[in-house]
Structure 1
Amino acid sequence: MRRCKAEVEQTRQRLLDAAERVFSDRGYAIARLEDIADVAGLTRGSIYWHYEGKPELLEAVIERAWFPWDQLPLERGGAQALPGIEEMATMLGDGVQRTLSVPHLRRSAAILLQGHELRHVSGRVQARLQGMQQRIRHYVAQVIEQACAGRLPGAERDAQARAVGVFMFGALSEALLLGLPGEQYPIGREVERFILALLAPATAGG
């Protein structure tokens, strides 16, 4: 029984690996189950044994991806200290760089950012993207609030937090679109510099 379960899980991971490659390389809309089966070295029937169809396979691919910003807390814990602006900028920049440099994360991000294709395919995938964006904005807003010690109006703070998130995902999308190699092109440092340039004046004392 253990061996059977292990083999089932191994086959499932082969399918997810293949789907991740096909969806990211060809785009979800034109990707075919036959293509995924060929890349996995399996039959189309094996896909239907594990998944109901392409949308469910897409959801499974996205749900197993763990991005650096997924660890950001939604709520501030009582004993959990928030970083300063510089530390946060470095952390978010490193997260973007890691996403581009790790093949599994790079492919998953390329799939997830196909928003125009996926909007009507899966509510769960759309919610995953929106949840990531909201998590980043919420976390950045908390850091700004702490750094400003209440001096910055809430609307301005939230606008700046949104600008950080928009720039992060815009830089990531551009790098993926242009095929820039994450291990060589310093997108993360650009994100870090943008955050510091945006937030440093607003959070300065006075």
Structure 2
Amino acid sequence: MATRRDERTQESRRLLVAAAAELFAEKGYRQTSFVDIADKAGISRGSIPWHFGNKLGLLEAVIDDQLQAVLTRFGAPADDPLGQVVDFIQVPATRLFITLLAEAVEVGSPIREHYARLHAALRQGVRARIPAEALPPGVTPEAFTVALVGTIIGVHAQWRIAPEAVDLEAVHTAIRALLPAGLA
């Protein structure tokens, strides 16, 4: 049975992860400080290293939390599994993933390895929804998954930058029209 102290500890951890996720999405990893996170969470900044060791430990917790939320959301059976994947464009966590991408592609980035794990998990989640028999000859499920995830990331980035210029319903229709018949 969890004690009151255990409950407070878990709540502090949850608040810190939520605050960091929001700030990393808004400002990026490097531009977000412990003070920013602590202020947003309403918790002492000394709690961050106590819970996570360091900023990278906090980033890992944020990515794990957000990825788990996405996989849970998209893990449920759906009448339209591919529509579920395309709908990922509008998931709030996608903004975090896109913001971190800009930092992760830099050579020597401290978040590159974490981001590579994130992409691998996203590809795995999407791949699970793609029946190999629906793909055209010569197109592997792995290659198709990389192309689809890349499309979704690119559309999301465009939508975030200029939402008035991106009609998500029309994009959804276009993606479906371009898909092999067994997937659309």
User: 1:160 touches 1:199 (CA, 8 Å); kept in 2?
Assistant: no
The CA deviation at 1:13 is 1.2
Match of 1:168 in 2: 152
Matched letter for residue 101 of structure 2: G
Among 50, 53, 70, the residue aligned to 1:67: 70
Match of 2:86 in 1: 93
Is 1:133 matched with 2:119? no
Match of 2:176 in 1: 196
Percent identical among aligned pairs is: 25
The CA deviation at 1:146 is 2.9
Matched letter for residue 58 of structure 2: L
Distance in 2 (alpha carbons) for counterparts of 1:6 and 1:167: 41
Distance 1:154 1:13, change over 3 A: same
Match of 1:54 in 2: 55
Distance in 1 (alpha carbons) for counterparts of 2:34 and 2:125: 33
> What is the total number of aligned residue pairs between the two structures?
174
User: 2:134 touches 2:182 (CA, 8 Å); kept in 1?
Assistant: yes
Match of 1:77 in 2: none
Match of 2:96 in 1: 111
Distance in 2 (alpha carbons) for counterparts of 1:174 and 1:68: 23
Distance 1:198 1:38, change over 3 A: same
Report the TM-score, using the length of structure 1 for normalisation: 0.68
Report the TM-score, using the length of structure 2 for normalisation: 0.75
Distance in 2 (alpha carbons) for counterparts of 1:158 and 1:44: 42
Q: Over residues 60-99 of structure 1, what are the superposed CA-to-partner deviations in whole Å (9 max), with x where a residue is unaligned?
A: 11111211587459xxxxxx9x97xxx34433233433x1
The CA deviation at 1:8 is 0.6
Distance in 2 (alpha carbons) for counterparts of 1:158 and 1:12: 36
User: 2:22 touches 2:96 (CA, 8 Å); kept in 1?
Assistant: no
Distance in 1 (alpha carbons) for counterparts of 2:72 and 2:9: 31
Higher alpha-carbon Rg: 1
The answer to which structure, 1 or 2, has the higher relative contact order (CA under 8 A, 6+ apart) is 1
The CA deviation at 1:55 is 0.9
Distance in 1 (alpha carbons) for counterparts of 2:42 and 2:11: 13
Give the 3-state SS of the residue equivalent to 1:37 in structure 2.
helix
Distance in 2 (alpha carbons) for counterparts of 1:69 and 1:13: 17
Matched letter for residue 199 of structure 1: L
Distance in 1 (alpha carbons) for counterparts of 2:81 and 2:171: 11
Can you give the 5+ residue segments of structure 2 that lack an aligned partner in the other structure?
A: none
